[in-house]
Structure 1
Amino acid sequence: MEFVASIIDTVFRPLKDYFARTVGYVMSCGDYIDLMVHEMSELKSKRDDVGKDYNLDDIQRIIGDRLGVSWENRTPKERAGVLYRVLSKMNFVLLLDDVWEPLNFRMLGIPVPKHNSKSKIVLTTRIEDVCDRMDVRRKLKMECLPWEPAWELFREKVGDHLMSASPEIRHQAQALATKCGGLPLALITVGRAMASKRTAKEWKHAITVLKIAPWQLLGMELDVLEPLKKSYDNLPSDKLRLCLLYCSLFPEEFSISKDWIIGYCIGEGFIDDLYTEMDEIYNKGHDLLGDLKIASLLEKGEDEDHIKMHPMVRAMALWIASDFGTKETKWLVRAGVGLKEAPGAEKWSDAERISFMRNNILELYEKPECPLLKTLMLQGNPGLDKICDGFFQFMPSLRVLDLSHTSISELPSGISSLVQLQYLDLYNTNIRSLPRELGSLATLRFLLLSHMPLEMIPGGVICSLTMLQVLYMDLSYGDWKVGASGNGVEFQELENLRRLKALDITIQSPEALERLSRSYRLAGSTRNILIKNCSSMTKIELPTSNLWKNMTNLKRVWIASCSNLAEVIIDGSKETVGSNALPRAILQARAELVDEEQPILPTLHDIILQGLYKVKIIYKGGCVQNLSSLFIWYCHGLEELITVSEEQDAAATGGEQALGAFRVIKPFPNLRELYLHGLAKFRRLSSNTCTLHLPSLESLKIVECPNLKKLNLSAGGLNVIQCSREWWDGLEWDDAEVRASYEDLFRPLR
């Protein structure tokens, strides 16, 4: 009760604020009012939740009953007038618990307390937007408990014997308390359920139950899952509910990529296709996830691009997905629990969704019959290298299949049986050859083939996938045949994908790069491009070369192992036709008209230069406006980050340079991250004739650059320099004051 008293103090402290006339509590992770009611029986008879189903009449009736006002034969407007007159003559505290929609105080007859009034209106909600739309003066977000008070509450409910238990039991108790995620009702319920448990095996079993079937733990359904379910029930659409349940397929406390979950939901059909552009479809997905965050059912993950589920919200979702615990294998979720082999095929038969991701499964040797299965998640089993032939033969309803981050070297025969498959992820597998029967997947919309040693695709497979909207093939197959160049799949097969909206591609010849740039639809769909092994390419220009004119959605350019590439030219000051140094015959053949007003590479955020032994980065003027990260790896001949062109030097002669002043250049005004690795000859960040200004730079990482002795750059926003201690100690500084100003930025390499 001491702990509950502190919670009550936290809840009611804002009410003592003289200026806070309306106070809103946003219950981001559980209901503290529920906790108080749970512990203080005298509150139960005085409490009515507002809830989503309450209307104006209900709320007026409840308030009238508390005030002893009779409502017979009165209209809502008359009742509002009576309430207003009564409440205006008294000091009152009105608690509106569990508010889901904004309430109109004027229509209810509730006078909003004035500046000099002692009255208060207090509301609790799980939706922060409700407070904003009701003009709440003081808003307090009630977060989950940090570890120390959470552990204290849990120990109190388990009992004093926990302190004298064995170290093993105390360790298990801490693990169990952690799984409650700081949610007070869960800590109380689980703690009480474990009060009579005295052996380590009982505690271990409780941890397993909480992972797999949390509703089986004593008191969980009634005291934890049912209260949480109110948030689920009050979601405005089935799409939102399904999207939330889908997030429970991921491991506990897993930071889920928003784009990842949205792609799955598109494949499952949760996100409708009212929109034609893939960006619009993804924006709809982000909007759904945002609604779930507003409802306090999802949390921010490792960054803004990721989300997480609170452990108890996930437990609630799994309970609902299993038809409230009556069909435990309907959603067969064993994600991140350390499985060494998959459950037997007989357990798959009734499953609609299965997740065995992030385990240690080595082989799938049975052929399960799963007529209802829609999603199968096997990703993140690094030792999985064998799936038996015919494995997919009896999964006619499967729509989403994720085999990424496994060691499989081939797809099993029978993959063509997946007649409804929409989403196939083979990212980071060991597959070198795609089977011809893959072309039979006529409904496939997402095909993810990036980061794999893919060498052979049978002719006709790609162009057979006529419904394909997303194709990712960066750091993967790149031997596209264009005229006499290339030996693999005809580039025309890509151009035949009329529905394609998002493309990541590997290019291994200047001819293929030119063909891509001239294909309006393909170029406009390209998000990430890897240009590698183009030995005939001698220079390339960013951002204004006509090569990039149609790539209006390009996010990343990665150039690797182009042995004769000598110049990457930064020239954002003017239109430059033909300066990408593709072979002369290609440039002469180019006849496509371009829109002079169209911005060039407006979405380009990342540039990676890797293994370019002759390259220099030449600055001619202007900038790459929205570039946020620049990685340069193993470019052994690079001596300085930016080399000012001869034209720029000549233009400066007689100007600032004649006056002895250093010119400041700003080629990357929005660059936040710079990573230099393995640059054997690298000596300086910019030439001796200028100072490099990176106004937005936040992170600088330098590894294996032994000849770089000075940090001659201007970066006022820099907050981290990651490097080895040995290299840092060997840096040369203009004076001790400059060194001292940088010292706090140093972070040793991990």
Structure 2
Amino acid sequence: MAEEVVTAVLPKAAETVWDSIQRITEASICMNDNHSRFESKMKTLCAVRDDLKDRTLKYKSTKNRTMEDWFHRVMAVEKVVEELQSKFTEKQETSTWIHALPRSKLSKQLASMCVEIGELVLEGNQLGDTLVHKVADRVVKMTAPDISYIPTLQGVLDKILLDLSNEDLKAIRVIGMLGAGKTSILQNLNNHEKVAGMYERVIWLTVSGEENNKENLSIEMLQHVIVERLIVDTEDATDVYKVAGRINKELTGLKYLLLLDDVKAELDLELIGIPEGAKGSKVVMTTKYRHVRLPSCSSIEVKKLSQSESWNMFHRLLSLPSGVKNNPQLDRMAHKAVSLCGGHPLMIKMAARIFKSIENHELSEISWSDGLQTLRRWPEKGNNEPMKDLLKFCCDHLDQEHKPCFLYSALYPEDTEISTEGLLECWEAESFLKGSEDAKIGGRNILRRLQNLILLEEGATGQYVRMHKLIRAAALNLLSEDRKDRYLVKTSESLPKLNGSTPKRQCVDLWTGKEWISLANNSLDNLPDAPRSTQLSTLFVQKYSKHKKIPDSFFQHMPSLLVLDLYMTEIMTLPSSIKRLSNLKVLYLNGCIVLKELPSFIGQLKSLEVLDIRGSGVGKLPNQILGLTRMKRLLVSFTMSTQDNYDVLFKLSGLEELIINVDSEMEEWCNTLIDEVVEKVSTLPKLISFQFRLNNMVIDVIQVYIGCFMSCGPEIPEFYRYDSSIVQELHELQYLEVQDCCMVEEIVMCSQDVSPHVIPKLRTLILCNMPCLRKISPILAWSSLESLTIQDCPTLKELPLDISSAMGLQIIEVDKEWWETLQWSDSNVEERLVRCCFFRQLA
């Protein structure tokens, strides 16, 4: 019996020994490979460690102990790494077979350390994302017009700078009429180098509510702006007094300059949390009301421009050619036009634009006479508000294609940077762009028209536009006439409460029958349960932070909704009633940081064409997103922990444009991600435009236009080599934009074998912020080019255009000073092109 047992056991024992020997041998063979992976992982860990060390020196950390614990564990790993590295040096030349056992042991240790190091890398990246917060910048620069050539405005700025050095003054008041240039002066003050050297924090605060509202914004809203600017943690501060305490604590001990724009009523700075005059701190405010003052306050008045200043401004904005000076009649008309503006800078701007847009530089007495008659009809005699009459006149005379686009732009809050792409998407969703073969191209033409009339202005970058508060007020007045009770715009102010003392009937009336509703930046307490908004097509509820949840039945009765903008709301979930929005085309969830997932019923939004979840808390896309068969444009954020959860997006066969924000500063990981994603997007059959937007790297955006779709966003970088099958697709390219490529010196042909007609259909070329660009290849043919925009390319002195390639150009947007420095080999080309020029405005 015993022998039988032994016989039964021996084969199993022999088999186990053999397996063990085999595993040891395999591990020995893999030692070098494991060491290579080990070294690579350790290199990544060191990069994360160094990055976090740099960031903790520059930025605040909300959880220092957690960060220190991570650094200590990294140090412990580094000691083990040194020991393993020493052992590998000893054993790397030994025999795989003879020394299999010690090699196998080291190989397994290396493999185990790879796992541990990988976990530390992941944890370190998460620490960087969640525990380190940026310290507020000393100054946040803003777009500011040039006022140096206008003595009245520049003189006020110089006087403010002088008063800032007066220790007896605590505040400076800048007073002036509507459109006098007060905000422009304050913007230039914010950007001034002397101010940056004098103060540790410069804080800009737009104090007014809507232009038609005579009150300041609420204390809560003003505090919210300051908290965001100073990056103050107020998560557990439940009332204005606690928030004020946090602000006060942040500013105490700092020398700050508080810039208050458009103050309409007395302001209690102490209640907001502003400490009085700490360390020589000062307040500068603008107002149009003489009764508004602050303690220990000097006063500077912005007066109307003189006739000579008005003429210089008009001349500069219109870019008057020498032909006007040689034509007494035209010169006389231009001076009359300036006289009618009465020294109002904003009116002078509009007058210049009206003349400029009459017949695109047709310098005839008839066309200019028509322009003069237009100006004479602006302010009615005896009216005390010619500015508002002027604005209303311009708005009333927009054609039927442009008017709804202009009115729609007023839905955005006052002083807001409006994304041009977002605006075009909304116009398209509302079917304002029906008449164009390509909706986006038609939309851009309308946008350009509105900008030419300064009904819209360029924002901080070319990707944004703004609407002046006076123009927006005129637009809202026109909207009330055009749509009567079919719209509701209550941004940056309080609404009647939707609970408590407000009658239920009033709540119902607030939402019933409306086509457009904008409640952005609002202090609304609650949203109604199930408003009967059957005609509603656009709903803006941006930056709505009073609650964490939208009522589950909220969208129950909104069958016509086309655009839903929930940007930066603090919603935690989407209500189930959203699946009833069968006609919804545009959904913005960007910045919804506490929204952790998209529900499975998102796939029931069959009409959805645009979805933006950048900067949200969404960590995974559900498979049901494949039900969005009409999806054309998707905007998402990738992090190291979420990238693998987004593979489903590469199965959206109808996708035409994909934008990926990469939330990581790990260059090696970003490069790997780029390679992987480029390979995946190549399988999308209808994709036309693809962008990577990278944070804190040399190149901010990688963008490839594969077809002829026009999209905002710059940058085809020189460092990334694209597959040759894509130099084959360039023959369909119609829109090319290169921006913020600061080191690029030449735009050249990448191969001598490529035909000069590689981009034969290119219609629009935009080059922005390329300070080193010296040359554009003369080899390329530009026969189809219609629109050319060049900005901030100071070293580019010659354009690669001849008389044949210049024939198709219709619009050239450039700075006048830069244009005058260009060198021309053919004066006929210059003469032909100058007639197409729209010189960018400097004020």
- TM-score, length of structure 1 as denominator length: 0.45
Q: Which has the higher helix share?
A: 2
Of structures 1 and 2, the one scoring higher in RCO (CA 8 A, sep 6+) is: 2
- TM-score, length of structure 2 as denominator length: 0.40
